[in-house]
Structure 1
Amino acid sequence: MIAGVARDLRAEAERANERRVLVLAGDRNRAIDAAYDAVESLGVDDGDVSIVSTRGGFRFEECRPRNADELLGRTREAVVLDCHERFVPNALGRAVGAVDGGGLLILLTPALDDWPAIRDRFDDSLAVPPFGIDDVTGRFRERLVATLRGHPGIAVVALGDEPAADGLERDGLTGGQRDERDEAVDAGDAVDEAVGDAAVDAADSRSAPPGATFPAAAYGACRTADQARALRAFEALAEPGAAVVVESDRGRGKSSAAGLAAGALALAGRDVLVTAPAFRNAAEVFARARELIGSERDGDGEGDPASDADERDLRTPAGGRVRFLPPAAAAAEAGEADAAIVDEAAALPVRLLEGFLDAPAVAFCTTVHGYEGAGRGFAVRFRERLLASRFAVRDVRLDEPIRYARNDPVEAWASRALLLDARPAVDEAVGDAAVDDAAYRALDPDDLLADETLLGEAFGLLVAAHYRTEPNDLARLLDAPNLVARALVANGRVVAVALLAREGGLDAETRRGMYEGERVRGNMVPDVLTSQLRDEAAAAPRGLRTVRIATHHALRDAEFGSRLLDEVHAEFGEGVDYFSVGYGATPRLLRFWRRAGYRTVHLSTSRNDASGEYSAVMLRPETKAGRDLLDRHAVAFRDRERDGLSDAHRDVDPDVVRGALRACPAPVPIDLTDTEWRSVVGASVGPGMYDTAPGAFRDLALATLIEGSGGDGVGLDDREERLLVRKVLQGRPWEKVAEELDFVSPSACMRALGDAFVPVVERYGTDFARKERERFISS
């Protein structure tokens, strides 16, 4: 029976150029045997089949669920996903994306009625101490099972103890009987007989349009008219001052078009810098660039273009290259390349994207829906800055799927099951919301499971606010026992949401293990304070960490985030010792969290590869245990930064340093010798020099920045405070500091530093220092 079901699904999928899903539900060993029967019935080569499983020894290409990223950029006739033992939602997303038009996704699952109640190794990863695996729920799988049983294009076979006992629950057929060519024509395409993929008519895309500057082979490699239009737009990157923005849903070929463009530019001798959240995200860019470079070099009799090329650095005879760098490194080097291409740009923070505005020409490729990164940071915040920049911006949108028909039911199913198309409420529904009228509510997982609109809007806000949200995060939201979610609702719509994690409260044995280097899942702040900052007692107090907080983009700067935090503090304040947060530090975020009562205890010593930021950890104490924890780590942070700012933190943005220190509650003890005061006073009002007592200047600068400019602070302006950071604390050369802070010369910068220390001496100086100052003033 199973072979017949598989053949019928395959035949209909091929006719419609769509995909189908076959669920084999029951005993694992029987399911694996049945999967072999299904694959054999399809008549496909073993090399066109992949299996994702915790087991090994299959005759097909295989990978583990945690390594399912290996399927990104791949196309397969069939993908078998073994959901027994370790079902990873991310792996389901990868597996779906790898199935070609006319192909099958085969899911091996426990009996569907039983599956939500079965705990596996992925559930174990959600069992964050002090919670155990029995505390993990099965709501995500309950919802997934409902979609499998209710969505078109999905066949379900309930496996018995032997083949004769198998039962067909759904045949998965949609009734589509149309010829593949007719389907493609209706979508605006014709079938490319040579490669078997949906492609545009030869007159539209397989020859270069009039006036094109890219090689004809590049246009010949396009598979849809959308891709050809995108490629033509990419031609602008040959000249400085051009920016191209390419948007699409998943599977529309934007990365392929970018790869063809990169290859064409390199063939013309250009240096093309490519980046993405990880190299695997850019694999298709390099694959298509390599193919194009190879086809052109083969035509010149040059042989294999890849034999002398690194996987991440392709070279051409004309001296061009296509090279990959991680986001932070690429942003720093963008100005050195001829053109930069940022793939999955929506998955990168706005601050990091700004670095690419230094490139002579730049392209941003973004996924509109999908867990590669659908953050509104690109669409809303960064786009404003791009349009205000020196670049002439050209927009292209790709709508036509590359490998399957537009109305593929499996794409619709995956989007619903994994909430790949989750989005906040439309702007018009919330634009007139007032913060005082919004209602605070708990987002109970059972309520989310029962209300698709509520779930979609809440998860959509989390997706929009963060540069990386994945299907695994949806499972955590619904099933993880350490997480809670809270929201503000206005006009019946979710306008702000916070995802919170319970941390700490760990027993002595667990704390000892953390101190000795063991990783404890889901306890980010206790782990940092214990293992990195060497405080074995740090994981004893109970904390509540804000994992993510998001406000609807139409209500930015309207105090919804602050109101939501106030409600969270009021609700949970009596049940925890402290609140905490960890995030990529920017001046704006540091101000937000400081105003909410959070104080800095740590700044990471390296940048996050994806965000390009240094990560800040902040605490807001609620009990004596929380205050003690904050006090000792604030003092430690203050003392680390005194020396660390001239070492590991030498390149931290001065406004980030100012914000982090301003939020540190540990005062700086000033205990300078008379000799040191002579140097400080002499440099501020006399002939002295900063270099004679750098340690004294450093202590005073640290105290000045921690106190800030308000209240009893010294009262320096922004540029003066930046000067203290760059020169005194970070020890940068006078020439560099003068250039960065717009002083007319290094000597002017030196005089400004002396002037800045005049009120510092007034604020912190001893009687001896004041007398020394009067000496110079009166003389």
Structure 2
Amino acid sequence: MSDDPRSPVETVARDLRAAAVRDRQRRLLVFAGDRDAGIDAAYDALAAAGFDEAADGDGDANEATDGNDDTDEDTDRDGDDEDAVTIVTTREGFRYDRVDPVHAGELLGTTRDAVVLDCHEGFSPNALGRVVGAVDAGGLLVLLTPPLDEWPDRRDEFDEGLAVPPFSVDDVDGRFRRRLVATLRNHPGVAVVDVDEGAVERAPADDPGLTLDYGGRRPAPPTDAAFPAAAYRACLTADQGHAVAELEALLDPGHAVVVEADRGRGKSSAAGIAAGALAAAGKDVLVTAPRYRNAREVFARARALLAAPDLDALAGAGPDPEHPRTLTSTSGGRVRFAPPPAAATLPEDPDVVIVDEAAALPVRLLARFLDAPSVAFATTVHGYEGAGRGFSVRFRDRLGDSGLAVSETHLDKPIRYAAGDPVESWAFRALLLDARPPVKPLVVDATLDSVSYRELDPETLLADEHRLREAFGLLVLAHYRTEPDDLARLLDAPNLTCRALCHDGHVVSVALLAREGALDADTRRRMYDGGRIRGNMLPDVFTSQLRDEAAGVPVGYRVMRIATHHAVRSRGFGSRLLDEVEAELGTETDWLGVGYGATPELLRFWDRNGFDTVHLSTSRNDTSGEYSALMLRPTSDAGRDLRERHDRWFRGRVAGVLSDPLRDLDADVARAALGATAGVSAPDLDDRGWRIVVDSSYGPGLYSTHPEAFRRVALAHLTDPGSTGLDPREERLLVRKVLQGESWDAVADELDYVSTGQCMRALGDAFRPLVDRYGTAFAHDLRGRYEK
């Protein structure tokens, strides 16, 4: 093709690039067919579009932005002379910068003039979601795909990952790619070339786009600005300037600022400018994000501001000068990074906390940042990084009740590319990045009598885009992290199924279920011997960790996610949906189960719905900082046998686990988890043990002479909730001192006792009603000695 100066590849590439540059947008070019032919075509297209000069170092890598120097200040380039073109592929030997698809996340927070994504091998929806945002204005996103008519029917590594036992890859469907192909063939701004035939299948109409207008690209600082003028000169849009002005509130304690934006609007840059200004004012600013790479732009902008000539306030950057995690100011202020679980402890008492990509963190973790003197939450509304509506719906009530003065700002003006960018709208559509539940007026009148129970099978969802967007939008709100891969799983994974409650045809409540178990003997043996078996989370934990090889025999459905529309929560829809699921699927399965980051609220919800705690993980989730709870609701005799033996084992080992790996488990989580067990742990004490407990509760005996006796009695109560009149603080005392073995001084301080002595007396008092309930005749007779 490249020998013909009028080849269709070169022509369409030049035309697309010209349109992208003219409109300050991006364009999408698809080369469908043989992989080698597609790679050759990509080279020809990049050369024809003028990218070769930048890649070879002979031209300006920012040419695609019209040479407007202003845009370079917010392109998220890391300052390490990145290549203008990146090819994302498993193959070696390209003169362009190459990234393996499994490492496509390295492109998050960076900018390229062109990105080539090889979809023949190692392709996943996540990889596509990660690379889309890296293409700059005037640039091209190039996809190398199999023939479009054949692609949905081909199976690759991603499909093999969906084929969880006992299913095979032959059971995986291609609905996600059928839908993706349809968007490529009818979305504006997309060109498709059949490289096998050397023909352009689709050349987008030359419709003029919207020219980017910064309008006040150097917004003047407010007349009463507290931040230096350099902070406002660093802003590219009036939106950014307004966000920075709102963030000035963080100079004083007692404030919370929420900054929301779609990707590419300069949200992180605004947070970084504010962080630099705060540090210049002597403030200690703690920055956190799901990963450091999400926060790199914050540090880049903070560093640039501190180093501005009229501030000259940068004292140091380390430990890696290229990607620093701490910036120090000549004023004594600093900007420092910590991962979310560590940052939530507010290490070294920061003056301000900035949480970037807040929607990608769980609500319970976000709530812990409300204890900071002042805090900002910056979040992406639509995009790979997280679901902003989930943040809005699930966290705003807690934020409003925090006692902080809350202000909000939203950035609408695109910076990286012009409004109406077709690649952005295509990515939103293809990956459902902007999926949302039905609007409130459509479901607010729903009642348990008005809803109908429905199976949302994949073919129905594929044929009904409206229903798909509503269901997936609710699932997004059910979890702090929903990725494009989850859409493909919903449509194609043979082990997944979806059920919903609908009101007037609109989804009110939805559950995503994963079929697990029914594993053959060879698979169970491999799992028992330490082999990783995909897609069977509960049988895997029961078998590999808890050493129950028979746990993979029964079949069940794990509730991966369940969500109810925020307009009708607390009306029983979630419980109704679970009951309907059991009524339908319980006759063909042995159990319903769930595994999730444990919080007291969630444990109580699942307990109310008949699920019993059978395991607590002994390591925290790296992002949420939570321990996981596994719970079962049996639906057959085999399921009851599974539940009963794991309930028995859990109660038998939990005291030892709480005193060692779970010594830092939240006391209320422990209370709720133990209260949700199916059985009660009898104290099983001999007369000597009861003598120590009774003498310590009613007389001069000492707890320290036989802690194990107290542990058994405490466990009996906590697995038998409501059996006595203990209040929550007394139960926390049982957990923290008796089960977790915390020191008296630490427990007294944590539970607000006025002294260690009062705490010790409170423990004795708490055991008196336990002696009354669980004590033997010997214990009761001994108690009578002190009651005379």
- TM-score normalised according to structure 2 size: 0.92
Q: Is the 8 A contact 2:317 2:324 kept in 1?
A: no
Q: Is the 8 A contact 1:603 1:615 kept in 2?
A: yes
Seen in structure 2, the aligned counterparts of structure 1 residues 636 and 149 have a Cα distance that, compared at 3 Å, is same
Correspondences of 1:468-547 after superposition (within 5 Å): 468-547=481-560
* 1:301 Cα offset (Å): 9.9
Q: Is the 8 A contact 2:313 2:330 kept in 1?
A: no
- Given the alignment, which residue of 85, 88, 101 partners 2:124? 88
Correspondences of 1:348-387 after superposition (within 5 Å): 348-374=361-387, 376-387=389-400
Match of 2:618, SS?
Answer: strand
1:315 aligns with 2:328: yes
Q: Is the 8 A contact 2:587 2:635 kept in 1?
A: yes
Amino acid of the residue matched to residue 11 of structure 1? A
Seen in structure 2, the aligned counterparts of structure 1 residues 93 and 369 have a Cα distance that, compared at 3 Å, is same
* 1:718 Cα offset (Å): 2.3
Correspondences of 1:17-32 after superposition (within 5 Å): 17-32=24-39
Structure 1 stretches lacking a partner, 5+ long: 191-199
Seen in structure 2, the aligned counterparts of structure 1 residues 303 and 432 have a Cα distance that, compared at 3 Å, is closer
What is the rounded CA distance, in whole Å, between the counterparts of 2:670 and 2:32 in structure 1?
56
Partner of 1:638: 651
What is the rounded CA distance, in whole Å, between the counterparts of 2:297 and 2:533 in structure 1?
36
Q: Is the 8 A contact 1:294 1:305 kept in 2?
A: no
Amino acid of the residue matched to residue 640 of structure 1? R
What is the rounded CA distance, in whole Å, between the counterparts of 2:464 and 2:390 in structure 1?
27
Partner of 1:42: 49
Partner of 1:135: 171
Partner of 1:658: 671
Amino acid of the residue matched to residue 25 of structure 1? A
Amino acid of the residue matched to residue 112 of structure 1? L
- Given the alignment, which residue of 200, 204, 210 partners 1:168? 200
Partner of 1:429: 442
Q: Is the 8 A contact 2:85 2:114 kept in 1?
A: yes
What is the rounded CA distance, in whole Å, between the counterparts of 2:280 and 2:115 in structure 1?
36
What is the rounded CA distance, in whole Å, between the counterparts of 2:344 and 2:660 in structure 1?
22
1:702 aligns with 2:715: yes
Correspondences of 1:241-640 after superposition (within 5 Å): 241-296=254-309, 299=312, 311-333=324-346, 336-374=349-387, 376-640=389-653
Match of 1:417, SS?
Answer: helix
What is the rounded CA distance, in whole Å, between the counterparts of 1:380 and 1:31 in structure 2?
44
Partner of 2:75: none
What is the rounded CA distance, in whole Å, between the counterparts of 1:402 and 1:449 in structure 2?
34
What is the rounded CA distance, in whole Å, between the counterparts of 1:596 and 1:393 in structure 2?
36
Match of 2:277, SS?
Answer: helix
Match of 1:184, SS?
Answer: coil
- Given the alignment, which residue of 721, 725, 728 partners 2:735? 725
Q: Is the 8 A contact 2:730 2:766 kept in 1?
A: yes
Seen in structure 2, the aligned counterparts of structure 1 residues 319 and 300 have a Cα distance that, compared at 3 Å, is closer
Alignment size in residue pairs: 752
* 1:384 Cα offset (Å): 1.9
Q: Is the 8 A contact 1:314 1:321 kept in 2?
A: yes
What is the rounded CA distance, in whole Å, between the counterparts of 1:637 and 1:693 in structure 2?
23
* 1:357 Cα offset (Å): 1.2
What is the rounded CA distance, in whole Å, between the counterparts of 1:173 and 1:322 in structure 2?
48
Q: Is the 8 A contact 1:75 1:100 kept in 2?
A: yes
Cα deviations across residues 511-564 of structure 1 (Å, max 9, x unaligned)?
122122211111111111111222222222212100000000111101000000
Seen in structure 2, the aligned counterparts of structure 1 residues 296 and 732 have a Cα distance that, compared at 3 Å, is farther
What is the rounded CA distance, in whole Å, between the counterparts of 1:583 and 1:119 in structure 2?
31
Partner of 1:194: none
Cα deviations across residues 493-516 of structure 1 (Å, max 9, x unaligned)?
100000000111111221122122
Partner of 2:146: 110
* 1:224 Cα offset (Å): 1.3
Seen in structure 2, the aligned counterparts of structure 1 residues 573 and 746 have a Cα distance that, compared at 3 Å, is same
What is the rounded CA distance, in whole Å, between the counterparts of 2:388 and 2:280 in structure 1?
34
Seen in structure 2, the aligned counterparts of structure 1 residues 308 and 13 have a Cα distance that, compared at 3 Å, is closer
Match of 2:550, SS?
Answer: coil
Q: Is the 8 A contact 2:363 2:480 kept in 1?
A: no
What is the rounded CA distance, in whole Å, between the counterparts of 1:173 and 1:655 in structure 2?
61
Correspondences of 1:178-197 after superposition (within 5 Å): 183-185=211-213, 189-190=214-215
Q: Is the 8 A contact 2:89 2:117 kept in 1?
A: yes
Amino acid of the residue matched to residue 483 of structure 1? L
- Comparing 117-126 with 288-297, greater Cα deviation is found at 288-297
What is the rounded CA distance, in whole Å, between the counterparts of 1:309 and 1:457 in structure 2?
43
Amino acid of the residue matched to residue 613 of structure 1? E
Seen in structure 2, the aligned counterparts of structure 1 residues 99 and 14 have a Cα distance that, compared at 3 Å, is same
What is the rounded CA distance, in whole Å, between the counterparts of 2:623 and 2:370 in structure 1?
17
Amino acid of the residue matched to residue 389 of structure 1? S
* 1:306 Cα offset (Å): 8.0
What is the rounded CA distance, in whole Å, between the counterparts of 1:292 and 1:97 in structure 2?
25
Partner of 1:774: 784
Seen in structure 2, the aligned counterparts of structure 1 residues 720 and 302 have a Cα distance that, compared at 3 Å, is closer
Q: Is the 8 A contact 1:297 1:305 kept in 2?
A: no
Q: Is the 8 A contact 2:520 2:553 kept in 1?
A: yes
1:750 aligns with 2:760: yes
Seen in structure 2, the aligned counterparts of structure 1 residues 687 and 450 have a Cα distance that, compared at 3 Å, is same
Cα deviations across residues 207-238 of structure 1 (Å, max 9, x unaligned)?
54433333333322222111111111112212
Seen in structure 2, the aligned counterparts of structure 1 residues 297 and 693 have a Cα distance that, compared at 3 Å, is farther
* 1:335 Cα offset (Å): 7.2
* 1:201 Cα offset (Å): 3.5
Q: Is the 8 A contact 2:390 2:478 kept in 1?
A: yes
1:121 aligns with 2:157: yes
Seen in structure 2, the aligned counterparts of structure 1 residues 665 and 201 have a Cα distance that, compared at 3 Å, is closer
- Given the alignment, which residue of 12, 18, 21 partners 1:14? 21
What is the rounded CA distance, in whole Å, between the counterparts of 1:297 and 1:140 in structure 2?
53
What is the rounded CA distance, in whole Å, between the counterparts of 1:133 and 1:297 in structure 2?
62
Structure 2 stretches lacking a partner, 5+ long: 1-7, 56-82
Cα deviations across residues 418-472 of structure 1 (Å, max 9, x unaligned)?
0011000001110010012210000010000000100000000000111000110
Partner of 1:736: 746
- Given the alignment, which residue of 690, 694, 708 partners 2:703? 690
Partner of 1:675: 688
Aligned identity (percent) is 63
Cα deviations across residues 729-767 of structure 1 (Å, max 9, x unaligned)?
122233333333333333332222222211211111112
* 1:346 Cα offset (Å): 1.6
Cα deviations across residues 317-350 of structure 1 (Å, max 9, x unaligned)?
3332222111111111267111100111122222
- Comparing 754-763 with 105-114, greater Cα deviation is found at 754-763
* 1:297 Cα offset (Å): 9.4
What is the rounded CA distance, in whole Å, between the counterparts of 1:108 and 1:522 in structure 2?
29
Partner of 2:106: 70
Cα deviations across residues 564-606 of structure 1 (Å, max 9, x unaligned)?
0000011111211211100111111111111211111111112
Q: Is the 8 A contact 2:307 2:314 kept in 1?
A: no
- Comparing 69-78 with 663-672, greater Cα deviation is found at 663-672
- Given the alignment, which residue of 724, 732, 742 partners 1:714? 724
What is the rounded CA distance, in whole Å, between the counterparts of 1:170 and 1:109 in structure 2?
15
What is the rounded CA distance, in whole Å, between the counterparts of 1:110 and 1:314 in structure 2?
47
Root-mean-square deviation (CA, aligned residues, Å) is: 1.9
What is the rounded CA distance, in whole Å, between the counterparts of 1:144 and 1:275 in structure 2?
34
Seen in structure 2, the aligned counterparts of structure 1 residues 659 and 375 have a Cα distance that, compared at 3 Å, is farther
